Structure 1
Amino acid sequence: MRRGCRTTIGLALGAVLAFAEAAYVLLTLPALAVPSARRRVFAGARLLAEVERARLARYLRNENSADYGGRRALEYLAVRCVVGGLGAGVFVLILWGAVSGLVMASQFFSGAPIGGGDPIGDDHDWYDLPAVFLLGLLLIFIAVQGLIGVATLDRRVAHRFLGPSEQDLLRRRVSQLATSRAEVIEAVNDERRRIERDLHDGVQQRLVALGMVLGRALRSKDPEHRGELVRQAHDESQQALQDLREVTWRVYPIALDSGGLEVALESLAERSSVPVTLDYALPERPGAAVETVAYFVASEAVTNAIKHAGASRIGISVTGDETMVTVRITDDGAGGAQASGGGLSGLARRVAAVDGVFTVDSPAGGPTTIEAELPCA
């Protein structure tokens, strides 16, 4: 009921505005022939269009873009005044019907003939009241359907004219794709440089240390000392294998192919030095591209929480449906993370590459929440 009243008020305001819009369009059409006056005409049209946009948003719950020019605003007003005129006609019919109903009701209770004719009491006037009642119900139904139709037209006309055209949307989409492609290339290059740095500073250094320990073992004359060096070499080899495994997981975890996102995230939680809770609630397995981005968002967020935020607990939540996957990572660390930071900016580029939305909420002192919304279609 509240929604219906709000919509009716909005349509009534639209009916009143239609007369002002029609007058503006008719009065300013001759001015379009003067080049110097067009800008002022378009500016006035945009002002009226903004009033309409605010009316639609408040009363009809219809949001429209403000990204349109004065010419499109004038075109919108030219069509909108016709729709508003239809709404005004519906309201006139409703008012006429309401007045007629009150007149007939007063005639019935006063004993006068309903709508004129023979007085009540003749043999054929018993059907007057049911006939008028049924006719009133029919008129109410037609009036309600008329208001619904005007509201639908109002929304469609605004959607058609307010906002960028299809050509503008296409150009913007091409620009977005070109930008995202460049960002993906940059993110891949950053990831390659980081992998190379990890190999050079981690695995390579351990292999050098392993070679040195083995060399000392070969030169040692003491069997006990040689055995101790061999044990050190064994420990170094195990650590080198662990570092190499970490690097390969950062390149691409094989668990994504074999078990999917849930198994990969479970492995991530098991390998973490900080307790990680996983809440996975996807009805079906998403595509490979979405799984890859979701995993790396979670992996990088967990790594940042451990290294930079000093978190003691981390939570990973994966929810969604057939059209959208939402990955949310929370931690109780120090906070202060910025989406423009080194690691997080790379994640933002990864998410943007699949038309996703990446947000970071990390006030000073924590907690930190990192969320990625990834479309599946």
Structure 2
Amino acid sequence: MRCGVGLMTGAAAAAIELPFAVLAGAALLPVAAWPAGRRAVLRPVLVCARRLAELERARLRIWLGVRVPPPHEDLRALRYVAGRWALGLLGGVVMLSAAIGLGYGLFWLYGWILLDGIRDPGSIALSSFGGFFLLFLAVQGIFGVAGLEGQWARQCFGPRHQEELERRIAELSASRAAVVDAVHDERRRIERDLHDGVQQRLVALGMLLGRARRSQDAARRDRLLGQAHEESRRALDELREVAWRIYPTTLDEAGLRAALETVAERASVPVRVEYHLTEEPERAVATVAYFVVCEAVTNAVKHAAPSRIIVAVGGAEEGMVHVAVQDDGCGGANASGSGLFGLARRVAALDGVLTVISPPGGPTVVSAELPCA
């Protein structure tokens, strides 16, 4: 029904576009070799073409479900309007055929009045059969013309092949630079963790052992050795924590689900993991998904003071992995902060998208869409 209405409105628009194309051609033809005159005539023609193109974009979006970007150039709008009237007339012919087919298909309802159906039932049956067959063909034509409308709009309004390649090259260059920056940030974070944590523990351990070695009091020496033993245990725990944050071995040994459950177990607040993937994602996708969850949970515990956190992992659609971390904390997370910004660059390196929704007062939702093969 919507496609039919879209084609009928397109046929009505063709009644305007065809005269516009003829008049625009007639106005441009005499001044084609005169640059100043051509520019003077083109200016109002292009303005009208853009307005007609905007109306057509709205019609395609509302009735045919086709979404196309606005034309980058007015000449593209003129090209679209100059060629679309033929599709509009074709759509009108298809809709007229559908109306004729429906009329003949329902001929058995009123044909007995016109042809005395008692004497000639065969004519009524034949007319109804032919009408329904024509209606069937017209319905197929409706979908065909709607597809042609979308193709023509995308061809005129969409980026050219060279522009698409340039855009893709720019995206790849930005992603590569983001990956390099992310690696540097990760190295700085590891250095900071080692310097502020493990290194300080080892320095304290060395001092305790030195004091115990120089002490002449056996009781004091035993006490210092006990403190050194406790400091070595803390240093080992912090070293394990740093190694875990660099890359968890559980991710390789047991998969993404087990790694996320380990994150939930290590968190200081209740974390519920809802895992809906039927197959293990690719290694790169699983790694990014893990770090999205790990960083989001760490930030929530550190800054939002939540009472619970929900981690959901599933397939939002074919070829995509959807990761979402929601907490009921105070909200107000800064998406441009170092942690979330680094996550955004990790996700962008896989052509994914990271979204942060965190109004003041919460809740905060950090979600990522990751493409996979």
What is the TM-score when the length of structure 2 is the normalising length?
0.90
The corresponding residue for 2:90 is 86
Q: Residue 214 of structure 1 contacts residue 229 of structure 1 at CA under 8 Å; is this kept in 2?
A: yes
The corresponding residue for 1:345 is 341
Q: Residue 101 of structure 2 contacts residue 132 of structure 2 at CA under 8 Å; is this kept in 1?
A: no
Deviates more, 1:213-222 or 1:138-147: 138-147
Q: CA deviation at 1:319?
A: 0.9
2:80 to 76, 95, 108: 76
Structure 1 residue identity aligned to 2:222? G
The corresponding residue for 1:46 is 50
Superposed counterparts of 1:302-321, under 5 Å: 302-320=297-315
* Residues 202/35 of structure 1: CA separation in 2 closer, same or farther (3 Å cut): same
The corresponding residue for 2:162 is 167
Q: Give secondary structure in 2 for the equivalent of 1:29.
A: helix
Deviation digits for residues 124-173 of structure 1, max 9, x if unmatched? x4522222222222222233233222222222222222222222111111
Q: Residue 358 of structure 1 contacts residue 371 of structure 1 at CA under 8 Å; is this kept in 2?
A: yes
1:208 to 186, 203, 206: 203
Whole-Å Cα distance in 1 between the matches of residues 129 and 318 of structure 2?
Answer: 48
* Residues 74/110 of structure 1: CA separation in 2 closer, same or farther (3 Å cut): closer
* Residues 237/144 of structure 1: CA separation in 2 closer, same or farther (3 Å cut): same
Identify unmatched segments of 5+ residues in structure 2: 33-37
Deviation digits for residues 168-200 of structure 1, max 9, x if unmatched? 111111111111211221122112111111111
The corresponding residue for 1:359 is 355
2:180 to 158, 182, 185: 185
* Residues 67/283 of structure 1: CA separation in 2 closer, same or farther (3 Å cut): farther
* Residues 309/163 of structure 1: CA separation in 2 closer, same or farther (3 Å cut): same
Whole-Å Cα distance in 1 between the matches of residues 247 and 110 of structure 2?
Answer: 83
Whole-Å Cα distance in 2 between the matches of residues 319 and 27 of structure 1?
Answer: 56
Whole-Å Cα distance in 1 between the matches of residues 180 and 109 of structure 2?
Answer: 77
Aligned length: 364
The corresponding residue for 1:23 is 19
Superposed counterparts of 1:90-105, under 5 Å: 90-95=94-99
Q: CA deviation at 1:14?
A: 0.3
Q: Residue 108 of structure 2 contacts residue 124 of structure 2 at CA under 8 Å; is this kept in 1?
A: no
Does residue 300 (structure 1) correspond to residue 295 (structure 2)? The answer is yes
What is the TM-score when the length of structure 1 is the normalising length?
0.89
Deviation digits for residues 323-342 of structure 1, max 9, x if unmatched? 11111111122111021112
Deviation digits for residues 312-362 of structure 1, max 9, x if unmatched? 322211111661111111112211102111211111111111111111111
Superposed counterparts of 1:1-377, under 5 Å: 4=1, 6-32=2-28, 33=32, 34-95=38-99, 108-109=112-113, 125-320=120-315, 323-377=319-373
Q: Residue 83 of structure 1 contacts residue 154 of structure 1 at CA under 8 Å; is this kept in 2?
A: yes
Whole-Å Cα distance in 2 between the matches of residues 305 and 108 of structure 1?
Answer: 77
Whole-Å Cα distance in 2 between the matches of residues 342 and 106 of structure 1?
Answer: 75
* Residues 236/89 of structure 1: CA separation in 2 closer, same or farther (3 Å cut): same
Deviates more, 1:148-157 or 1:208-217: 148-157
Structure 1 residue identity aligned to 2:270? P
Q: Give secondary structure in 2 for the equivalent of 1:283.
A: coil
Structure 2 residue identity aligned to 1:356? G
* Residues 204/60 of structure 1: CA separation in 2 closer, same or farther (3 Å cut): same
Whole-Å Cα distance in 2 between the matches of residues 249 and 37 of structure 1?
Answer: 69
* Residues 24/93 of structure 1: CA separation in 2 closer, same or farther (3 Å cut): same
Q: Give secondary structure in 2 for the equivalent of 1:127.
A: helix
Give me the identity figure in percent.
52
The corresponding residue for 1:117 is none
* Residues 138/41 of structure 1: CA separation in 2 closer, same or farther (3 Å cut): same
Q: CA deviation at 1:267?
A: 2.0
* Residues 195/88 of structure 1: CA separation in 2 closer, same or farther (3 Å cut): same
| Aligned residues: CA RMSD | 2.3
